[in-house]
Amino acid sequence: MRSPMSRTVVGCALGIVGLVHAGWAQAPAAQPASSAPVVANPTYVSIPLEIMVNRPAAEVWKRVGKFCDIGEWLRVQCAITSGKDGEFGAVRSVANEVLVGKTELSYTYTQPVRAGQTYNLYHGTLEARPVSATTSKLVYTLVFDNSTLPDDAARERDKQQRAARFMQALENMKILAEGGTLPPAPAAARGGR
């Protein structure tokens, strides 16, 4: 049997715990320095883009569908830094993107969590989709969380800039897949993403 004094101490301790859980201590716990922060209320956006190509889908994919072909059509340096090009888990030097899904005529990649940066679940899918025996379309879809941007105007601006950049990439893929050569890259594009 407990003494009245020990019941009082236990009661006070339980009362403090109850106050903390009830919201008395409102400050959120600090994130450990080694973990990437996450967003409590993400706002996921998608950017679906497509372009028609006057070539069969298999030919298009053979020309522009390798994981590191991004270097040519996005005009950035690309190397496979881990694994093999086209295999699950392959990592390319472009933002350390990881190949996480693929079919015969598509692949999906993601960007990994980075220490000290808010994780935005950025990922994309590139697909060559048959339309007829002689034509296809390239479909590129990006999905990510843009809630860390300061306001709706900044989020819309970011979305439009990404759409323009990746539409240019699709246009470059179309040129290459149809047997053409790309014009010289604009000076700003040569510097990377």
Q: Is residue 33 part of a domain?
A: no
Evaluate whether residue 34 is within a structural domain.
Answer: no
Residue 72 belongs to some domain of the structure: yes
- The residue ranges of the chain whose pLDDT is under 50 are 2, 5-36, 190-193
The answer to the question of residue 6 being in a domain is no
In a domain, 149, yes or no: yes
To 10 degrees, the CA torsion angle through 102, 103, 105, 111? -10
Inside any domain, residue 89: yes
pLDDT, position 15: 42
Asked if residue 31 is part of any domain, the answer here is no
Give the chain's domain count. Answer: 1
pLDDT at res. 61: 98
Q: What is the 3-state secondary structure (H, E, C) of the chain?
A: CCCHHHHHHHHHHHHHHHHHHCCCCCCCCCCCCCCCCCCCCCCEEEEEEEEEECCCHHHHHHHHCCHHHHHHHCCCCCCEEECCCCCCCCEECHHHCEEEEEECCEEEEECCCCCCCCCCCCEEEEEEEECCCCCEEEEEEEEEECCCCCCHHHHHHHHHHHHHHHHHHHHHHHHHHCCCCCCCCCHHHHHCC
10, part of any domain: no
CATH code, 155: 3.30.530.20
Write the pLDDT tens digit of every residue in 102-157.
999 999 999 999 888 889 999 999 999 999 999 999 999 999 999 999 999 999 99
**Domain coverage including residue 169:** 41-183
* pLDDT the model gives residue 115: 85
pLDDT for 186 equals 78
